[in-house]
Amino acid sequence: MPKILLVEDNEMNRDMLSRRLEKRGYTVVLAVDGAAGIAQAKAEKPDLILMDMSLPVIDGWEATKQIRADAEIAATPIIALTAHAMSSDREKCLAAGCDDFDTKPVELPRLLAKIEEMLKKGKTPPA
Amino acid sequence: MKGLPFRWKLTLLIALISGVTLALAFVGLYVNDLYQFRSDIERRLETTRSELQQRITPLLEQNSPELKGSLQFLANDSLTEGAALYSSDKHLLDEYRRFGSAPISPSSTQIGELLNSNNGIILTTIRKNGHELGYLYLKAELTENERTRFSNLLRGAGIIFVISSLIALIAGYRLQGTISEPITQLVDAARYISEERDYSVRVPQHATGEIGELIASFNFMLGTIEQRTSEMALARENLHVSNLQLEDANRTLEVRVEERTRDYREAVKAADEANKAKSGFLAKMSHELRTPLNAIIGYSEILLEDATDEGNKAVASDLDKILSAARYLLGLINDVLDISKIEAGKMELYIETFDIQKLIQEVASTVQPLVGKKNNTLYLDCPAEIGDMQADSTKIRQMLFNLLSNASKFTEKGGITLSVARDPDGLHVIMKVSDTGIGMTPEQIGKLFKAFSQADASTASKFGGTGLGLAISLQFARMMGGNITVESTPGVGTTFIVRMPLQVQDITHRLVEVDPAKISIGTRPPIALSKLAPPPDHSPCDVLLVEDDPPTRDMMARILEREGWKVRTANNGQHAIDVLEQVIPATVILDLKMPIMNGFQFIDHVQTKAEWRQVPIFVFTSMDITQDIRERLAGRTAGIFQKGDHSRDDIIHHVQEAVQAHLTAQKNKQT
3 state SS for B195-240: HHCCCCCCCCCCCCHHHHHHHHHHHHHHHHHHHHHHHHHHHHHHHH
Q: What is the radius of gyration, based on Cα positions, of chain A?
A: 13
Contact B592, B621 (CB under 8 A): yes
Chain A residues interacting with chain B (CB cutoff of 8 angstroms) = 10, 12-13, 16-17, 19-20, 23, 83, 86-88, 90-91, 104-106, 108
Nearest by CB to residue B290, choosing from A19, A20, A105, is A105
Q: What are the chain A neighbours of B295 within 8 Å (beta carbons)?
A: 12-13, 16
Cβ distance of A23 and B305 shorter than 8 Å: yes
β-sheet bridge partners, residue A82: A103
Q: What are the chain B neighbours of A104 within 8 Å (beta carbons)?
A: 294
Instruction: Give the per-residue pLDDT at B34.
Output: 79
Q: Which has the higher per-residue pLDDT, B660 or B552?
A: B552
CA B660 centroid distance within chain: 39
Q: Which of B48, B100, B103, B95 is nearest to B72 (CA)?
A: B95
Cβ distance of A17 and B294 shorter than 8 Å: no
Collapsing DSSP to helix, strand or coil, B431 comes out as strand
Q: What are the chain A neighbours of B290 within 8 Å (beta carbons)?
A: 83, 105
Site from B284, B286, B290, B291 to mutate, A interface, most A CB atoms within 10 angstroms: B291
What are the residues whose beta carbons fall under 8 Å from the beta carbon of B349, sequence distance 6 or more?
A87, B392, B395, B479, B480, B504, B506, B507, B508
Helices (H), B503-588: 516-521, 550-562, 573-582
Instruction: Give the per-residue pLDDT at B396.
Output: 92
Q: What are the chain B neighbours of A21 within 8 Å (beta carbons)?
A: none
Instruction: Give the per-residue pLDDT at B464.
Output: 52
β-sheet bridge partners, residue B434: B417, B495
Mean pLDDT of B55-73: 79
Collapsing DSSP to helix, strand or coil, B567 comes out as strand
Q: Which has the higher per-residue pLDDT, B7 or B183?
A: B183
Instruction: Give the per-residue pLDDT at B530.
Output: 29
Mean pLDDT of B540-569: 78
pLDDT digits (tens, 9 = 90+) for B415-458: 999 999 998 888 899 999 999 988 888 877 877 776 655 444 45
The β-bridge relationship of strands B415-422 and B567-570 is unpaired
Per-residue pLDDT at A7 exceeds 90? yes
| Whole-number average pLDDT of chain B | 78
Nearest residue on chain A to B392, judged by CA atoms? A87
| Rounded-to-integer distance, Cα B182 and Cα B44, Å | 63
Q: Which of B359, B366, B365 is nearest to B389 (CA)?
A: B359
| Rounded-to-integer distance, Cα B57 and Cα B63, Å | 9
Percent of chain B with pLDDT over 70: 83
Nearest residue on chain B to A83, judged by CA atoms? B287
Q: Which of B272, B484, B503 is nearest to B389 (CA)?
A: B503
Contact B382, B420 (CB under 8 A): yes
Instruction: Tally Cβ neighbours within 10 Å of residue B149.
Output: 14
| pLDDT band at residue B113 under the 50/70/90 scheme | low
| pLDDT band at residue B513 under the 50/70/90 scheme | very low
pLDDT digits (tens, 9 = 90+) for A27-69: 999 999 999 999 999 999 999 999 998 888 888 889 999 999 9
Q: Of the ranges B15-24, B90-99, B452-461, B589-598, which one carries the lowest mean pLDDT score?
A: B452-461
Cβ distance of B305 and A88 shorter than 8 Å: no
Q: Where are the beta strands (DSSP E) in B454-508?
A: 483-489, 493-501
Q: How many residues does chain B have?
A: 671
For B611-657, give the secondary structure using H, E and C.
HHHCCCEEEEECCCCCHHHHHHHCCCCCEEEECCCCCHHHHHHHHHH
| Residue B91 per-residue DSSP state | -
β-sheet bridge partners, residue B121: B139
Per-residue pLDDT at B352 exceeds 80? yes
Q: Using alpha carbons, list the distances in angstroms from residue B594 to A113, B197, B297, B590, B655.
A: 63, 46, 60, 10, 21
Q: How far apart are the first and last CA of chain A?
A: 25
Q: What are the chain A neighbours of B305 within 8 Å (beta carbons)?
A: 20, 23
CA B153 centroid distance within chain: 86
| Rounded-to-integer distance, Cα B170 and Cα B172, Å | 5
Q: Which of residues 293-332 of B touch A (CB under 8 A)?
A: 293-295, 297-299, 301-302, 305, 330
The region, left, alpha or beta by phi > 0 then psi within -120 to 50, assigned to residue B88 is alpha
Residue B366 belongs to what H/E stretch? helix B356-373
pLDDT digits (tens, 9 = 90+) for B238-247: 999 999 999 9
Instruction: Give the per-residue pLDDT at B105.
Output: 57
Residue type, B101: S
| Rounded-to-integer distance, Cα B292 and Cα A12, Å | 9
Cβ distance of A87 and B290 shorter than 8 Å: no
Per-residue pLDDT at A114 exceeds 80? yes
Closest chain B C-alpha to A24 CA, distance in angstroms: 11
Per-residue pLDDT at B520 exceeds 50? no
Collapsing DSSP to helix, strand or coil, B114 comes out as helix
Closest chain A C-alpha to B287 CA, distance in angstroms: 9
Q: What are the chain A neighbours of B349 within 8 Å (beta carbons)?
A: 87
β-sheet bridge partners, residue A80: A51, A101
| Rounded-to-integer distance, Cα A66 and Cα B152, Å | 157
Mean pLDDT of B253-271: 87
| Residue B340 per-residue DSSP state | H
Q: Where are the beta strands (DSSP E) in chain A?
A: 3-7, 27-31, 48-52, 78-82, 100-103
Site from B301, B335, B346, B472 to mutate, A interface, most A CB atoms within 10 angstroms: B301
Instruction: Give the per-residue pLDDT at B431.
Output: 94
Q: Which of A55, A74, A45, A73 is nearest to A14 (CA)?
A: A55
Contact B480, B391 (CB under 8 A): yes
| Rounded-to-integer distance, Cα B239 and Cα B138, Å | 106
CA B570 centroid distance within chain: 21
Nearest by CB to residue B294, choosing from A13, A20, A86, is A13
pLDDT digits (tens, 9 = 90+) for B323-336: 888 888 888 888 87
| Rounded-to-integer distance, Cα A50 and Cα B494, Å | 45
Instruction: Give the per-residue pLDDT at B384.
Output: 83
Q: How many residues does chain A have?
A: 127
| Residue B492 per-residue DSSP state | T
Site from A14, A16, A18, A111 to mutate, B interface, most B CB atoms within 10 angstroms: A16
Q: Which of residues 332-351 of B touch A (CB under 8 A)?
A: 348-350
pLDDT digits (tens, 9 = 90+) for B574-628: 889 888 888 888 888 888 888 888 888 898 888 888 888 888 888 887 777 777 7
Q: What are the chain B neighbours of A88 within 8 Å (beta carbons)?
A: 348
b/e map of B370-386 (b: 16 or more CB within 10 Å)? bbeeeebebeeebeeeb
Q: Of the ranges A68-72, B86-90, B479-483, B508-512, which one carries the lowest mean pLDDT score?
A: B508-512
Instruction: Tally Cβ neighbours within 10 Å of residue B18.
Output: 20
Mean pLDDT of B75-100: 77
Upstream peptide bond of A105 is cis (omega within 30 degrees of 0): yes
Q: What are the chain B neighbours of A83 within 8 Å (beta carbons)?
A: 287, 290
Q: Which of A43, A55, A56, A41 is nearest to A5 (CA)?
A: A41
Q: What are the chain B neighbours of A111 within 8 Å (beta carbons)?
A: none
Instruction: Give the per-residue pLDDT at A6.
Output: 95
| Rounded-to-integer distance, Cα B169 and Cα B497, Å | 119
Collapsing DSSP to helix, strand or coil, B84 comes out as strand
Q: What are the chain B neighbours of A23 within 8 Å (beta carbons)?
A: 302, 305
| pLDDT band at residue B669 under the 50/70/90 scheme | low
Collapsing DSSP to helix, strand or coil, B416 comes out as strand
Cβ distance of B294 and A104 shorter than 8 Å: yes
Nearest residue on chain A to B531, judged by CA atoms? A91
If you average pLDDT over each of B248-257, B467-476, B552-561, B626-635, which comes out highest?
B248-257
pLDDT digits (tens, 9 = 90+) for B447-486: 777 665 544 445 544 555 566 888 889 889 988 889 999 8
Nearest residue on chain B to A109, judged by CA atoms? B301
Mean pLDDT of A109-118: 91
pLDDT digits (tens, 9 = 90+) for B121-140: 777 788 877 778 888 887 77
Q: Using alpha carbons, list the distances in angstroms from residue B396 to B441, B504, B659.
A: 27, 11, 20
